[in-house]
Structure 1
Amino acid sequence: MNTAHAKAPRRHITGLLLMMAGVACLSANDAIAKALTSGYSPLQILFLRNVIALPFTVIIAVIMGGASALRSHRPVAHLLRGALWVAATMMFFTSVIHLALAEATALIFVAPFFITLISALFLGEEVEWRRWLAVLAGFFGVLVIIRPGGATFQWISLLPVATALVYAVLMLSARWVDARESVWTLLVYLTGAGALLSALIVPLGWVPVRSGDLWLFAGIATFGTAGMTMMTQAFRLAPAVVVAPLDYTGLLWATLFGWLIWQERLDMMTIVGAAIIVTSGVDTILRERRQGSGRTRILMQKEDVADDWEDETDKGQM
Structure 2
Amino acid sequence: MAPLLMILAAQLLIASGNLLVKLLETNAPVFQLVLYRQLFATLLVLPFVWRLQGNLKLSPFYKVHLSRALLIGLGNAIFMLAVLHLPLATVTAVIYTSPLLLLLLSAFFLHERIGYRRTVAGIIGFTGILLISQPTEFNLYIGLAFFGAMTSATNSLILKAYSTHEHPFSTLFWSNAFAMVFLIPATWYEGADFNLPVAQVGLTLGVFYIGMTYLIIHAYRRADASQMAPVEYTGLIFAALFGWWFLDEPLSIVVCIGIGLVLFSSILPSYSELKAKWKSRQR
Give the aligned partner of residue 279 of structure 2. none
1:107-146 paired onto structure 2 within 5 Å: 107-146=94-133
Alignment pair present for 1:29 and 2:17 = yes
Residue 51 and residue 130 in structure 1: after superposition, are their counterparts in 2 closer, same or farther (change >3 A)?
same
Query: Which residue of the partner structure matches residue 58 of structure 1?
Result: 46
Residue 37 of structure 2 aligns with which residue? 49
Q: Tell me, what secondary structure is at the counterpart of 2:110?
A: coil
Give the structure 1 partner of residue 280 of structure 2.
Answer: none
Give the SS at the match of 2:233.
helix
2:6 to 2, 6, 18: 18
Q: Which residue of 2 aligns with 1:274?
A: 259
Matched with 1:197 is: 182
| Uncovered stretches (5+) of structure 1, i.e. residues with no partner | 1-12, 292-318
1:258 maps to which residue?
Answer: 243
Which string of whole-angstrom CA distances, capped at 9 and with x for unpartnered residues, describes residues 256-290 of structure 1? 32233322123332222222122112222446889
Could you tell me how far 1:69 is from its partner in structure 2? 8.4
SS of 1:228's partner is helix
Aligned match of 1:246: 231
The answer as to whether partners of 1:52 and 1:218 remain within 8 angstroms in 2 is yes
SS of corresponding position for 1:36: coil
Q: 2:67 aligns with which of 71, 75, 80?
A: 80
Contact residue 23 and residue 231 of structure 1 kept, 8 A: no
Match of 1:160 among 145, 165, 169: 145
Q: CA deviation at 1:218?
A: 2.4
What TM-score, normalized by structure 2, do the two folds share?
0.86
Residues 141 and 225 of structure 1: CA distance in aligned 2, closer, same or farther (over 3 Å): same
State whether residues 141 and 272 of structure 1, in contact with CA within 8 Å, keep that contact through their aligned partners in structure 2: yes
Q: Find the counterpart in structure 2 of residue 314 from structure 1.
A: none
Say if 1:51 and 1:195, in contact at 8 Å, map to a contact too.
yes
Candidates 264, 268, 279, aligned match of 1:283 = 268
How many pairs align?
276
> How many Å separate the matches in 2 of 1:146 and 1:43?
25
Task: Quote the Cα distance in structure 2 between the aligned partners of 1:60 and 1:138.
Answer: 37
Cα distance in 1 for residues equivalent to 2:224 and 2:163: 23
- Provide the secondary structure at the position in 1 that maps to 2:238: helix
Distance 1:261 1:110 in 2: 25
Distance 1:215 1:91 in 2: 20
Aligned equivalents of 1:31, 1:60: Cα separation in 2:
28
Q: Structure 1 length as normaliser, TM-score? A: 0.77
SS class of match (2:23): helix
Residue by residue, what CA displacement relative to the aligned partner does 1:2-46 show, whole Å, maximum 9, x if unpaired?
A: xxxxxxxxxxx5322222222211222222222235352221110
Compared with structure 1, are the counterparts of its residues 239 and 204 closer, same or farther at alpha carbon in structure 2 (3 Å cutoff)?
A: same
Please report the RMSD computed on the Cα atoms of aligned residues, expressed in angstroms. Answer: 2.7
Measure, in 1, the Cα distance between the counterparts of 2:193 and 2:149: 31
Shift of 1:221: 1.8
Pair 1:38-2:44 in alignment:
no
Mapping of residues 205-216 of structure 1, within 5 Å: 205-211=190-196, 214-216=199-201
Contact 1:141 1:277 in 2 (8 A): yes
Encode CA deviations 1:114-151: one digit per residue, 9 max, x unaligned.
12212223332222222211122222223323334x3x
